């Protein structure tokens, strides 16, 4: 009998794994947190504070047992826009972070986390690839020793012509060496020394011992952070709700995608609503201490699990190590060149791009490719929330077209010759005409939704006009949404106008609940509801005889 992974007993071996996992994930997360802090415009310490705040609360209160949380690429992109827009009032920027955290807590309490799983992969792929491209574009400037442009990727591209005269050779050499180490570091050494930390060490040593002219981080505050007092007014709340929603939604999607990765690595199942609750609490605290908001971090999570991290204790230990760095080791960070962090972020941006989808670009359906490219372009050149919203709409329309074809394929609308239909009924008399088809059968099999509603009306509506009696067969109908139900009402109204009588056959279950709730069948007499085809024949015969 196999034991579920969630039920594994906590013992000395598990503790050892948590300790090694916490240490490893801290080593992986340190360079990235520093780099994200600098790139956001808030400073290196903001990245470390964010890793501590979000990492602790997500580990203790979250719903993914081995997940490591902290600043991520998507959160960097979202926060950079907010910091740029509120450069003269950072208190407002941090208030937006607090609001975003509260929104996440609300999403968790309302149990909305599970619905993130319904986000189409083409949208996620375009979004993540767009984030990766933004990171690379923005980091091209510090990569050559030029200050980061405040206008995001578009402004960074506009400054490229000036790089030929403004670039600094020492910074370029350091960044190139850092990137080379990060890319070429052998995988077999990662368990002892992660590639990002090795790249950080090599690049920093180059800057300290040889290429001293490259810009460096400079003084980094140590100790506990200052409390940020939220800026609260109705006007501020109205203008801040959209960026707060951006951070909340991006963090939620990023987090739950990482949770799925953790599930696949550990063969466990996360609690999405509880995970959003923990992440939201962490982001609220991050806003109060002036830190970068965060989400579930895939590199740290995978490193933690593969090093043996199994329980939330590994995440707490990761936070403790980072907190020790924040409290006492700030002076060792001051001499790190900006170019080193740019090199590391270039690797992060490259890894963020969804190469798994891109390498299959020639084999995916054209509709899915268009959704992915649309989301990617809007992410890079417009904003994250618009990109995801438009991508979701485009994906929904694409899916609706596919579903329409599937649903319409399960519809049968056929005329039935009187001779065939009434052949077994004795003494049919004049009601039976061997050469006419006064009865039509419409069989609605399977599921029907808004996707096929319009096509149902145009297709079946024309068929109804050709018959004196139409049997609407719901025997094999599994589900029907409100849009499809209202189409049935319009079909019955069309039949009434054309003096065509309707018989409802085999109605039950969810379709009956939906149709009755909307009072769709109000114009169908009680004696026209039948259960079997034989009953439908008898009813149709009686109607035709009456005529």
CB-CB contact of 153 with 77 (8 Å): no
Tens digits of residue pLDDT in 62-100: 999 889 999 988 888 889 888 888 878 888 999 999 999
DSSP single-letter state for residue 440: E
* Percentage above 90 pLDDT, the chain: 34
| Confidence tier at 2 by pLDDT (50, 70, 90) | very low
pLDDT at 434: 60
Residues 6+ apart with CB under 8 A from 481: 448, 449, 450, 514
Write the DSSP assignment of 46-96 as a string of letters: HHHHHHHHHHHHHHHH-S-TT--EE--HHHHHHHHHHHHHTTT-HHHHHHH
Residue 315: is its pLDDT beyond 60? yes
| Confidence tier at 3 by pLDDT (50, 70, 90) | very low
Tens digits of residue pLDDT in 351-401: 889 898 999 888 888 889 999 999 999 989 887 778 888 999 999 888 888
Distances (CA, A) of 268 to 55, 116, 531: 20, 18, 46
Q: Which of 179-188, 267-276, 280-289 has the highest mean pLDDT?
A: 280-289
Classify strands 411-416 and 439-444 as parallel, antiparallel or unpaired: antiparallel
Q: What is the mean pLDDT of residues 119-147?
A: 87
Tokens of 127: 């979004």
CB-CB contact of 517 with 544 (8 Å): no
| Confidence tier at 470 by pLDDT (50, 70, 90) | very high
CB-CB contact of 29 with 72 (8 Å): no
pLDDT at 219: 73
pLDDT at 332: 73
Residue 433: is its pLDDT beyond 60? no
CB-facing half-sphere around the CA of 174: CA atoms within 13 A = 32
Residues 6+ apart with CB under 8 A from 227: 288, 289
Cα four-point dihedral sign 90, 96, 99, 103: negative
CB-CB contact of 435 with 510 (8 Å): no
CB-CB contact of 246 with 93 (8 Å): no
Smallest Cα–Cα separation from 283: which of 257, 245, 312? Answer: 245
CA–CA separation, 131 and 124 (whole Å)? 11
CB-CB contact of 212 with 245 (8 Å): no
Residues 6+ apart with CB under 8 A from 212: 170
Tokens of 178: 């850092």
Tell me the Ramachandran region of residue 70: left when phi exceeds 0, alpha when psi lies from -120 to 50, beta otherwise: left
CA–CA separation, 329 and 319 (whole Å)? 15
CA–CA separation, 248 and 380 (whole Å)? 19
Write the DSSP assignment of 447-478 as a string of letters: EE-HHHHHHHHHHHHHHHTT-SEEEEE-TTEE
pLDDT at 1: 38
pLDDT at 348: 86
CB-CB contact of 405 with 434 (8 Å): no
Q: What is the mean pLDDT of residues 216-232?
A: 76
pLDDT at 96: 94
Strand order in the sheet with 469-473: 411-416, 439-444, 469-473, 501-505, 529-530
CA–CA separation, 337 and 218 (whole Å)? 9
pLDDT at 517: 93
* Percentage above 70 pLDDT, the chain: 94
Q: What is the mean pLDDT of residues 131-160?
A: 83
pLDDT at 427: 45
CB-CB contact of 52 with 323 (8 Å): yes
CA–CA separation, 152 and 39 (whole Å)? 11
Tens digits of residue pLDDT in 484-543: 999 999 999 988 888 899 999 999 999 999 999 999 999 899 999 999 988 998 898 888
Instruction: Tell me the pTM.
Output: 0.78
Q: What is the mean pLDDT of residues 331-357?
A: 87
CB-CB contact of 342 with 139 (8 Å): yes
CA–CA separation, 305 and 400 (whole Å)? 39
Tell me the Ramachandran region of residue 354: left when phi exceeds 0, alpha when psi lies from -120 to 50, beta otherwise: beta
| Confidence tier at 115 by pLDDT (50, 70, 90) | confident
Tell me the Ramachandran region of residue 76: left when phi exceeds 0, alpha when psi lies from -120 to 50, beta otherwise: alpha
Residue 418: is its pLDDT beyond 60? yes
| Confidence tier at 40 by pLDDT (50, 70, 90) | confident
| Confidence tier at 330 by pLDDT (50, 70, 90) | low
| Confidence tier at 424 by pLDDT (50, 70, 90) | low
Tens digits of residue pLDDT in 142-154: 898 888 766 678 8
CA–CA separation, 261 and 302 (whole Å)? 8
Q: Which one has a higher pLDDT value, 182 or 436?
A: 182
CA–CA separation, 444 and 408 (whole Å)? 9
CB-CB contact of 428 with 545 (8 Å): no
Sketch out the chain's domains with CATH numbers. Answer: 13-399 (no CATH), 410-546 (3.30.750.24)
pLDDT at 35: 85
CB-CB contact of 319 with 151 (8 Å): no
Q: Which one has a higher pLDDT value, 155 or 357?
A: 357
Write the DSSP assignment of 4-61 as a string of letters: PGGGPPP-HHHHHHHHHHHHHHHHHHHHHHHHHHHHHTS-HHHHHHHHHHHHHHHHHH
Q: Which residue has the tokens 């088809």?
A: 437
pLDDT at 21: 86
């Amino acid at each position: 009998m196999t034991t579920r992974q969630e039920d594994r007993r906590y013992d000395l071996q598990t503790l050892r794994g948590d300790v090694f996992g916490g240490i490893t994930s801290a080593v992986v997360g340190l360079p990235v947190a520093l780099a994200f802090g600098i790139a956001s415009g808030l400073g290196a310490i903001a990245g470390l504070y964010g890793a501590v705040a979000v990492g602790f609360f997500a580990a203790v209160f979250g719903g993914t047992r081995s997940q490591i949380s902290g600043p991520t690429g998507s959160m960097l992109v979202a926060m950079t826009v907010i910091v740029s827009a509120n450069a003269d009032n950072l208190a407002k920027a941090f208030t937006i972070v607090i609001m975003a955290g509260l929104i996440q807590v609300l999403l968790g309490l309302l149990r909305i986390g599970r619905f993130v799983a319904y986000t189409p992969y083409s949208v996620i792929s375009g979004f993540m690839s767009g984030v990766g491209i933004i990171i690379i574009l923005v980091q091209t400037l510090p990569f050559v020793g030029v200050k980061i442009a405040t206008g995001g990727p578009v402004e960074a591209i506009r400054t490229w012509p000036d790089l030929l005269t403004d670039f600094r050779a020492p910074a370029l050499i350091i960044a190139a060496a850092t990137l080379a180490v990060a890319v070429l570091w052998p995988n077999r050494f990662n368990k002892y020394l992660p590639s990002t930390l090795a790249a950080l060490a090599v690049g920093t040593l180059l800057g300290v011992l040889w290429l001293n002219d490259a810009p460096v981080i400079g003084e980094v505050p140590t100790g506990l952070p200052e409390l940020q007092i939220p800026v609260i007014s109705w006007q501020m709340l109205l203008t801040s709700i959209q960026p707060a929603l951006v951070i909340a939604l991006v963090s939620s999607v990023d987090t739950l995608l990482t949770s799925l990765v953790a599930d696949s690595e550990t063969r466990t199942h996360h609690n999405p609503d509880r995970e959003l609750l923990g992440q939201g609490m962490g982001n609220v605290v991050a806003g109060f201490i002036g830190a970068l908001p965060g989400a579930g971090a895939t590199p740290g999570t995978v490193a933690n699990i593969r090093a043996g991290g199994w329980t939330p204790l590994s995440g707490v230990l990761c936070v403790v190590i980072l907190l020790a760095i924040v409290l006492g080791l700030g002076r060792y960070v001051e001499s790190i060149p900006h170019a080193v962090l740019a090199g590391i972020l270039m690797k992060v941006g490259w890894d963020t791009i969804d190469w798994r989808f891109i390498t299959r670009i020639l084999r995916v359906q054209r509709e899915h490719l268009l959704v992915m490219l649309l989301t990617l372009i809007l992410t890079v050149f417009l904003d994250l929330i618009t990109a995801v919203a438009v991508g979701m709409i485009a994906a929904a329309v694409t899916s609706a077209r596919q579903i329409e074809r599937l649903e319409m394929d399960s519809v049968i609308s056929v005329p039935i010759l009187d001779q065939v239909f009434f052949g077994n009924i004795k003494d049919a008399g004049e009601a039976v005409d061997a050469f006419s088809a006064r009865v039509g059968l419409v069989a609605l099999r399977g599921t029907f939704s808004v996707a096929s509603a319009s096509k149902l009306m145009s297709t079946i509506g024309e068929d109804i006009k050709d018959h004196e009696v139409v049997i609407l067969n719901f025997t094999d109908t599994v589900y029907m949404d409100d849009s499809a139900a209202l189409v049935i009402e319009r079909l019955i109204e069309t039949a009434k106008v054309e003096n065509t009588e309707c018989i409802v056959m085999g109605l039950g279950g969810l379709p009956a609940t939906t149709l009755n709730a909307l009072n769709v069948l109000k114009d169908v007499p009680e004696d026209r509801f039948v259960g079997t085809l034989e009953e439908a024949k008898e009813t149709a015969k009686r109607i035709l005889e009456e005529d």
